[in-house]
Amino acid sequence: MNDLNVISGWIGILIGVLSGALIGLRFGHEQWLGGYASWSRRMVRLGHIAFIGVGLLNLAYAITVGPLHWRGTPAMSISLASANALMPAICFLSAWKRSLVPLFCVPVGLILFPTAGMLWMRLMP
């Protein structure tokens, strides 16, 4: 399962860089997506960063269960890889429709589960 998180992590980082470049094409237009401080613009920027951030979490998981030999589970691995797609997607969807904000509990849970699980399994014998 380690490869899943390495591949997912690098894909997330790549998409984050590419989406940042795409967003950057409109960055200088003050009123793009309602202006710099608008909800839509902030959520689009957050989505671009979420690709990179959750991608890095996937790489951290892979390093932790690989070279550092911490215990992980397939469910934790899949959970983080899923969050790598869902967190940015919900950011972008929330930029379009603010009423979708409650959906953030899904990717947050997908990140919380392996994060707490890894620590629990390491600290509790």
Residue 125 has pLDDT above 80, yes or no: no
51 in Cβ contact with 91 (< 8 Å): no
71 in Cβ contact with 65 (< 8 Å): yes
Residue 80 has pLDDT above 90, yes or no: yes
Confidence at residue 100, expressed as pLDDT on a 0 to 100 scale: 96
- Per the structure, the complete domain to which residue 47 belongs is given by 2-123
Tell me which of 118 and 34 has the higher pLDDT: 118
Confidence at residue 2, expressed as pLDDT on a 0 to 100 scale: 72
Handedness of CA 11, 14, 16, 19 (dihedral sign): negative
3-7, 17-21, 29-33, 69-73: the lowest-pLDDT one: 29-33
Report d(CA 19, CA 45) in Å as an integer: 9
* Domain count within the chain: 1
Residue 110 has pLDDT above 70, yes or no: yes
Confidence at residue 14, expressed as pLDDT on a 0 to 100 scale: 97
